[in-house]
Amino acid sequence: MTLALIDYGAGNLHSVANALAAAGCDDLAITADPRAVARADRIVLPGVGAFGACAAALCAIPGMIEAMEARVLKQGAPFLGVCVGMQLMAEAGDERGTHAGLGWIPGRVSHLTPTPAAKVPHMGWNDVVPTISHPLIVPGEAYFLHSYAFAGAHVLATTDHAGPVTAAIGRDNMLGVQFHPEKSQSYGLALLRRFLAWKP
């Protein structure tokens, strides 16, 4: 069972790879090759930093988005987006200008508004509170590190940072998490194990 971890220059690529290996993935391909993505059994999209820069880097790989859409949208391969990798599932992001996302989930990514009690970036451990039942998302504490957040459809879980903030989104065979499972110790590794066993 091959898992394709998409390499488009994301800073957390190797941390995600390490965590997937620790969660039991024994056939992990770190790849920028659309052909490898097109035949992968599972696909993970990492990402940190700015939405626009990440979207541009992903678009810059010829054939990558087409391969992802064929494999995930048409053929139903399980997909996990992490942090900005999750945000890219949205229609658009407002970080340093407005940029198009993959458009897999209706909604957009916008800057969090700081308050005296809620600093931005939202940085640290916070609750993952499921809003509907989903086999991969369970209540717990995870590590968040972001200044922008998703608002839109198919929200699976929220966290609280001066109000509800989207923690996970998904539909059908795709899941996106705003927090960092690769940095969330046992909670994060357990989520990755569930993803590796997921048969949506």
Partner 1 sequence: MTVRARVIPCLDVANGRVVKGVNFVDLADAGDPVEQARAYDAAGADELCFLDITASHEGRGTILDVVRRTAAVCFMPLTVGGGVRTADDARALLLAGADKVAVNSAAVSRPEVVTDIAERFGSQCCVASIDARRSGGGWEVFTHGGRRATGIDAVAHALRLADLGAGELLVTSMDRDGTRSGYDLDLVRTIADRTDVPVVASGGVGGLADLVAGVIEGHASAVLAASIFHYGEASVADAHAALAAAGVPVRSH
Q: Site residues (CB under 8 A) for partner 1?
A: 11-15, 18-19, 22, 48-50, 53, 96, 114, 117-127, 141, 143-147, 159-162, 180, 182-185, 188-189
Q: What is the CA radius of gyration of the chain?
A: 15
Candidate list 25, 54, 83, 161, residue with the active-site label: 83
The position carrying tokens 């989207």 is 166
Contact at 8 Å (CB) between 153 and 172? no
Active site annotation includes 182: yes
Q: Which is nearer to partner 1, 35 or 96 (CB)?
A: 96
HSE-CB for 92 with a 13 A CA cutoff: 5
What is the β-pairing status of strands 92-93 and 107-111? parallel
Nearest to 84 by CA among 16, 17, 26, 35: 16
Q: Which of 108, 63, 55 is nearest to 85 (CA)?
A: 55
Measured from the CB atom, the residue of 30 and 70 that comes closer to partner 1 is 30
Closer residue to partner 1 (CB): 69 or 127: 127
Q: How far is the CB of 34 from partner 1 (least distance, A)?
A: 23
Indicate the SS3 state at residue 48: coil
The catalytic position among 99, 146, 154, 180 is 180
Q: Is 83 a catalytic residue?
A: yes
- Of 133, 135, 136, 141, nearest to 186 (Cα)? 141
Closest CB 182 distance from partner 1, rounded Å? 6
Determine which helix (DSSP H) or strand (DSSP E) holds 186, and give its type and residue range. helix 185-197
Q: Which is nearer to partner 1, 27 or 160 (CB)?
A: 160
Catalytic residue IDs:
83, 180, 182
